[in-house]
Amino acid sequence: MLDIKLLEHLETYLTDNRLERFKTVLSQRTKHFTVAVEDVYQLHNTSAVIRSCDVFGIQEINIIEEQNTKRIDREIAMGSQKWVDLNRYSNVQDCIANLKQNNYQIVATTPHAKNGDLHRFDVTKKSCFFFGRETKGLSKEVLNQADCFLKIPMVGFTESLNISVSAAIILQHVTTKLKQTDLNWKLPEHEILEKRFDWCKKTIKSFDEIVERFYAQ
């Protein structure tokens, strides 16, 4: 259980601006939507999706690495991997099962869907947006188990967008619409407190020593 007094003590080591920034960002975080990337080959694409999740307030991202296991590109993610929660899976089935257990509908993003126009998407449903490999797209496992499909309307000669561009467009659209609803889409208070503690841990130098001194007093 989180020690509130310890959290308050740790936050005295933050500048007023940093502490206010933490609280402001967390007030806009959501788990109503999440993202899953499936075996993306180009490292910078996964990193850029993580960055978009941070920018648009998505707290969790699911990374499936059945074939391509790589470390997050820090330069592209620009530190955003510290502020979002990364759930890593070695196979897609485990990812889908966990998401469904947590009441997420599986949304397969594909330019080849016959329906599922982005502007008609129902943002009231708790959803995970799946993005697939750069060349092959999503696997049959995801497509067969998807609850619905989603595509970005395009009118040019190009058939598809880069995965990171697609993710940014979709997340900007759905989070904007979500905030126009009456849904309780924000993180609950106990999760906000947990993230404040987590972000302190990732920010404060000599974190362990400070905690040890606090409990020694």
Q: What is the pLDDT of residues 153-209, one digit of tens each?
A: 877 877 777 888 999 999 999 999 999 999 999 999 999 999 999 999 999 999 999
Extended strands (E) in the chain: 33-38, 60-64, 85-89, 105-109, 127-131, 148-150
The pLDDT value recorded for residue 40 is: 67
The band of 76, judged by pLDDT with boundaries at 50, 70 and 90, is very low
Single pTM value for the model: 0.90
Q: Cα(87)–Cα(27) distance, rounded to whole angstroms?
A: 22
Nearest CA to 120 among 131, 107, 103? 107
Residue 202: CB partners within 8 Å, gap ≥ 6? 82
What average pLDDT score do residues 105-130 get?
90
Structural Rg of the chain based on CA atoms: 19
Residue 72 has pLDDT above 70, yes or no: no
The band of 42, judged by pLDDT with boundaries at 50, 70 and 90, is low
CA-CA distances (angstroms) from residue 77 to 10, 89, 215? 26, 20, 35
Q: Cα(90)–Cα(53) distance, rounded to whole angstroms?
A: 21
Residue 39 has pLDDT above 80, yes or no: no
Domains and CATH numbers, the chain: 32-187 (3.40.1280.10)
What average pLDDT score do residues 6-35 get?
97
The whole-angstrom distance between residue 76's C-alpha and the CA centroid of its chain comes to 16
Amino acid in position 66:
E
Q: What percent of the chain has pLDDT over 70?
A: 89
